[in-house]
Amino acid sequence: MKSSVIVFPGSNCDRDIAVALEKMQFKNKMVWHKETSLPKSDLIVIPGGFSYGDYLRSGAIAGKSLIISEVIKAANSGCLILGICNGFQILTETGLLKGTLLRNKNLKFINKDVNIKVLNNKSKFTSKYKLNQVLKINIAHNEGNYFTNEKHLTELNTERLIAFKYCDKNGNINENSNPNGAIDNIAGIFNSKKNILGMMPHPERMIDNMISNTDGVNLFSSLLN
Amino acid sequence: MVELSLLNSRKNKLKFSIIVTLKKEVLDPQGKVVQNTLNNLGMGNLKDIRQGKYFEIEIDEIDQSLAEKKVTQMCEKLLVNLIIEDYKINKI
């Protein structure tokens, strides 16, 4: 399985995701944002970080970069796209995913391990997880407060396009288990074809028991399936 | 000649301001914190504060309606996130 990681000035989780992908036996290439063509890829990852220093809005400038038009073309022809954290913000700025990510409700940068629940395991990204499985994954963001309009929220629910929701360790989804104010506790969503996943939590940080846990491993092994 | 070209370049410049604000239904935590702080400073009659962004744009164009069209494009392509923000263009 071939993967590409797009690198912007200010990306800082690009090497973490590369380590995770290579550990899971992906053949990975790093792609600088000024490139105008993509290597042949089954998976394109837009990593976390602070592309362009979050100028204007998080992900706004990266969302208009040269390589992004190639990413959009690849996405439209069915290539798998994973956006993590700033990558999720960039995907919403490109329009590949609907909605947007607002400033955290408490105005604080949040860096901690939180629980998320798998709401749909019938996707190429989540098939190795059990439905309603509770994972412990790290989040580290200032703008993770997912927001979208009523119409799209209904679509997310009826088409089962919500991948993960924030919950407590027992799987309860409520205001107390919502770290950033995201609408309906949403932590990650698919596009309607489910070939694109955007998520605020960092699965690439959860692939080794020595530094954290292995709750992120199944996301990558799902993709290999 | 130099002076004439300077004059022309001035004539061709149109200047606009753009004010970007969060839509009414979108929570503005920054505005809330600013409001609370002003309240704490004794501004008791303060009712509401919404924080926004301000841009000034100079554009090399004589025709004002054409220039406004271009500025609108700039807003919709990059400066404004239409899902959560409204904008207002003014000639200055």
pLDDT mean for each 10 residues of chain A (225 residues): 97 97 97 95 97 94 95 97 98 96 94 98 98 98 96 97 98 97 98 98 97 97 93
Question: According to the model, what pLDDT value does residue B6 have?
Answer: 58
What mean pLDDT, rounded, does chain B reach? 89
pLDDT of residue A39: 96
CA distance A94 to A72: 8
Q: What pLDDT score does B2 carry? A: 55
Confidence band (pLDDT; 50, 70, 90) for B25? confident
Q: How many domains does chain A have?
A: 1
Say whether residue A183 is in contact with chain B using an 8 A CB cutoff.
no
A103 and B30 within 8 Å at the Cβ level: the answer is yes
Give me the pLDDT at residue B58, please: 95
Residue B9 has pLDDT above 70, yes or no: no
CB contact under 8 A, A56 and B26: no
| A69: contact with B, CB 8 A cutoff | no
**The pTM is what?**
0.91
pLDDT tens profile B60-92: 999 999 999 999 999 999 999 999 999 999 999
pLDDT at A12: 96
**A105 vs B27, B77, B79: nearest CB:** B27
- pLDDT on residue B29: 87
Query: What is the model's pLDDT at position B1?
Result: 54
Q: Could you tell me where the beta strands, DSSP code E, fall in A59-194?
A: 80-84, 100-102, 110-118, 134-141, 145-147, 162-167, 186-190
Q: Which of A102, A103, A107 to mutate to test the interface with B (most CBs of B within 10 A)?
A: A102
What pLDDT is stored for residue B3 in this prediction?
61
Instruction: Confirm or reject contact between A110 and chain B (CB < 8 A).
Output: no
Residues 15-54 of A with CB under 8 A from B: none
Q: Is A204 a catalytic residue?
A: yes
Domains contained in chain B, CATH given: 2-26+53-91 (3.30.1280.10)
Predicted pLDDT at B7: 56
B27 in contact with A, Cβ within 8 Å: yes
CA angle A10, B84, A109 (to 5 degrees): 40
CATH of the domain at A214: 3.40.50.880
Q: What is the domain range of residue A171?
A: 2-224
Q: What ipTM is given for this predicted complex?
A: 0.81
Per-position DSSP letters for B58-87, written without gaps between them? EEE-S-HHHHHHHHHHHIIIII--TTTEEE
Quickly state the pLDDT bin for B11 (edges 50, 70, 90). Answer: low
